[in-house]
Amino acid sequence: MSQGRPLLAALARILSGLSIRWVGCRPEVRQRVYYANHTSHLDFLVLWSALPREVRAFTRPVAAKDYWEVGRTRRYLAAGLFNAILVQRGNISVEGRARQLDLLLEALGDRYSLIMFPEGTRGTGSEIAPFKSGIYHLSLRKPDLELVPVYMHNLGRILPKGECIPVPMLSRIDFGAPIRVLDGEPKETFLGRAREALGSLKCACLS
């Protein structure tokens, strides 16, 4: 199943007209969470394709179960090609959130990295929505885990919400400086700081 990954990664980069900038860190085979803004169903595919092959091999996307379990093609892509971790969106119980956190920790293990979209759902791209608390609780359980902000420019125009056929045009991905949860840092303070780190990459493009 992994044989199709290099071809799919190359196709995603070509289709999205992708350019890549590592402005705050370098690509490394080390355990990280790459967290990004979310405007398109192409997001995790294009972000995953932007990573070097040796990094992609140990990076798993976290994706919405309600979308990626619908239909044979989506299920094959999520499970067969990307080894994705599928999670529930929306209002779930405290017990359900705890199970999902355990699932993410198990998926990380001692060697894997994750791709996450802490806004929780796709936005318009005009602004970054407030973050859900998952990356905070994950960081509390693994405080040495690097969180790398990744701003994805223009993906929402390539595959807008409600569309199924991509429109080829140029896009860019900026990888920023890693952050970590600070000792004793409150949840809202951390989530605000993580969101600000992501927003600074958007602002850098506009300046």
The domain segmentation of the chain, as residue ranges, is 2-206
* Contacts of 125 by beta carbon, 8 Å cutoff, 6+ apart: 37, 39, 155, 156, 157
Model pTM above 0.95: no
Report whether pLDDT(58) > 90. yes
Q: What is the CATH number of domain 2-206?
A: 3.40.1130.10
| Residue 176 pLDDT grade (very low, low, confident, very high; cuts 50, 70, 90) | very high
Instruction: Say what the alpha-carbon torsion angle 93, 195, 160, 18 is, to the nearest 10 degrees.
Output: -130
Chain segment 87-133, per-residue pLDDT in tens: 887 777 888 889 999 999 999 999 999 999 998 876 666 789 999 99
